[in-house]
Structure 1
Amino acid sequence: MSVVRTVLLASLACLSAGAASAQEFAFLAAPQTDLNRMYRVDRETGEVGSCQYAVKEGAVGVTLCFPAGEGAGPQEPGVYDLAATNHAKEAGVFRVDRRTGRMSVCYVLGEQVVCTPMAR
């Protein structure tokens, strides 16, 4: 009986560890009204990426994704989120650290997402 209990407790510990290390993301559409772009941020690291739909002849289309570039990579650990302005022609979003109040502006430049330095 104690072997079964030990195996059960070990299994529960593994499940808990796996859940704790799972990444959590926040998503937000760009406020620009004629752009079908979504941004994502890793809530712990602050890394930002973006994807959008593109028409592809002879197919249903394709999802274009832009990886993190200059300034959009992992930051100091925090509690990150995305916020948009109400500006109808703004293609970028704000990356905010809810723990410190610091923020930066992120947008697609060329083939990657770039962000300004974090500031307060």
Structure 2
Amino acid sequence: MRAAIRLLSLGAALAAPAALAGNYEFLAAPQTDLNRVFRLDRASGEVGACQYGLKEGAAVGVTLCYPPGEGAKAGQFSEYALIASRHTGEGGVFRVDLRSGQMSICFVLNESSVVCTPPAK
């Protein structure tokens, strides 16, 4: 009986980090000539983005990341997701609140930060 309890405790301890993992969602921008990936914190709605960039004189490029800016910073805790349009020229993505049904459009503004429009239904 003690061995079974220890085994269950060990299983719970190993599962705890897995329960905390997976809080982020990643989605590529639908624009076909853009190598940008958006990152979403599913609980807070915070959105950032990164893309590959060339580095002059180097064989390997760099990862360029854009921090959350206006409207893209952590907000009210809910359950968020990212959705890409099917528009091949669209550089942004939709951030949706799965509980309220509100949507924002998020994109990189002036190559400096990710911004999102005010949420609307």
Tell me whether the two structures share a fold, i.e. TM-score over 0.5: yes
TM-score class, shorter: 0.7 to 0.9
Deviation at 1:85, TM superposition (A): 0.6
Identical pairs, percent: 59
1:103: Cα distance to partner?
Answer: 0.7
Paired residues in the alignment total: 119
Structure 1 residue runs of 5 or longer lacking an equivalent are 1-7
Question: Structure 2 stretches of 5 or more lacking a match?
Answer: 1-6
What is the 5 A alignment of 1:50-89? 50-57=49-56, 58-89=58-89
Judge conservation of contact 1:26–1:42 (CA < 8 Å) in 2.
yes
Amino acid at match of 2:82: L
Give the alignment of 1:29-48 within 5 angstroms. Answer: 29-48=28-47
Q: TM-score, normalised by structure 2?
A: 0.82
Is the Cα–Cα contact under 8 Å of residues 71 and 116 in structure 1 kept in the other structure?
Answer: yes
Give the structure-1-normalised TM-score.
Answer: 0.83
Runs (4+) of structure 1 moved beyond 2 Å? 8-23
Structure 1 distance, partners of 2:12, 2:30, is: 42
Secondary structure of the 1:35 match is: coil
Is the contact made by 1:23 and 1:42 (CA closer than 8 Å) also made in structure 2?
no
